[in-house]
Amino acid sequence: MTLTTDDTRAGSLDRDALYIGGRWVKPATDEVLEVISPSTEQVVARVPEGTTADMDAAVAAARKAFDEGPWPRMAPAERIEIVQNLSGLYAARLGDMAELITTEIGSPISFSNLAQSPAPWMQIEAFLAIAREFPWESTRPGALGADVMVRHEPVGVVAAIPPWNVPQFTLISKVIPALLAGCTVVAKPAPESPLDAYLLAELLTEAGVPEGVVSIVAGGREVGEHLVTHPGIDKIAFTGSTAAGRRIASLAGERLKRVSLELGGKSAAIVLDDADLDATLEGLKFIGLMNSGQACVAQTRVLVSRERHDAFAQALADAVSGMKVGDPFDEATEIGPMVARRQQERVEGYIRIGQEEGATLLTGGTGMPSGVDAGWFIRPTVFANVDNRMRIAQEEIFGPVLSVIPYETVEDAVRLANDSDYGLAGTVWTSDDAAGLDVARQIRTGTFGINTYTMDFAAPFGGYKASGAGREFGPEGLAQYTELKSIYLSSPPM
């Protein structure tokens, strides 16, 4: 499948069914979601809009599959074999997946080919390796004499709710460990990005995942809240805004449901005086503006010593001003559109706030980028002389806006980095690895990089403070989908 503008305008991506219980079924109503291209503002697909009745059917299928079906009762090796089938099928469709994500959310195709599509497949492979070595069942000496068997058992029916910005990446981070653990899953993609999720549904069926085990129903906030509060759900796995995460945590707490939350960020990149200028600028362009700035781990606060602030801020502005903005299907494009008009308006609002607060606008600003006459685009923007108390330094903007903040000493830089409601990611840039590690140990974030930033799927990912609760990836991420059972033995197991 190679998508073209003509294909998408012709409605070749339309769907008329929902994926419920591993089968394509007629939706409860005729309501549809229109998927709109952020770069052309044209409808590229129409899919059924899931309702609470559809969610009830999906949860019922998942509940029956968990309570009565074979999936949670299989040996881990049997589930691993089926997920391995999925991995092979997924690898063959990476190009299709990347094009779908660029079509629905406007992610630059270079980023889609780099991360939006290959990274989910890499997650599958990493979780398979973890599952093969995972201590599903182990025996330890008991403190009272007899041995104790400790079992990791599936948590139950999982509600998986990904956001629109990295839709497949965040969906896979929930579905795959849940499946490997023996759970059944009901996923609710964001209404902006259902297309990639339905391609995954096709691959799950082809891989041999039994009926009932996975449902995928796209819908809006009302349907999502119905899923979260449904009595048939045992665990909620959510990625999205901190405000939505707080609401979900409250609802889950009232019902004592298991919950894991990967939420927002306002991460800091600390530039020490000995950092290599060219390498740091290249690194900051990527980690600050990846996916057009629509990334929870984007490091949008750049902390620079006061002595180097002016020169560094101007160099960063020069580098950012040279980034190509435009058609997300152009391989040369570095900054694509915002996902929706509301997001474009939100980001432009923050740019105006930054100017009103007294920050120095070095490049960018409001208004459409040069040469672009349609779509929800933002000019990549750099502010200098930003005070860490300003709203543009404290609130998650979720767009291509960087704030350069001066610090007095390294200790002051650490204080400023930690002076945030969030704690998801961060970096330090230096030619001294020991100094970088010393800084890394002091920053209150769940992930951190020295002269780089990446997410290694063998290691846990998640946030401190308002950036979430729980962890994804690594053995810790797989364990989030299990319950622990202790069995006290009167004699050694056979």
* DSSP class per residue in 324-336: -BS-TTSTT-SB-
Active-site residue, from 49, 99, 104, 262: 262
Give the Cα separation of 36 and 39 in Å (integer). Answer: 9
Q: CB of 163 within 8 A of CB of 170?
A: yes
Residue from 303, 313, 469, 466 nearest 393 by CA: 303
Q: Which amino acid is at 471?
A: R
Active-site residue, from 49, 104, 183, 296: 296
Axis crossing angle, helix 167-181 with helix 195-207, rounded to the nearest 10: 30
DSSP H or E stretch at residue 342: helix 341-357
- Residue 419, burial from CB neighbour count under 10 angstroms (0-12, 13-18, 19+): middle
In the chain, what is the greatest distance between 2 CA atoms, to the nearest angstrom? 77
Catalytic status, residue 262 = yes
Alpha helices in 69-207 (DSSP H): 76-91, 94-105, 109-111, 118-133, 167-181, 195-207
Q: Which amino acid is at 458?
A: A
Give the Cα separation of 111 and 119 in Å (integer). Answer: 11
Q: Cα-Cα-Cα-Cα dihedral of 222, 228, 232, 235, to 10°?
A: 160
Give the Cα separation of 232 and 183 in Å (integer). Answer: 13
Q: Which residues are catalytic?
A: 262, 296
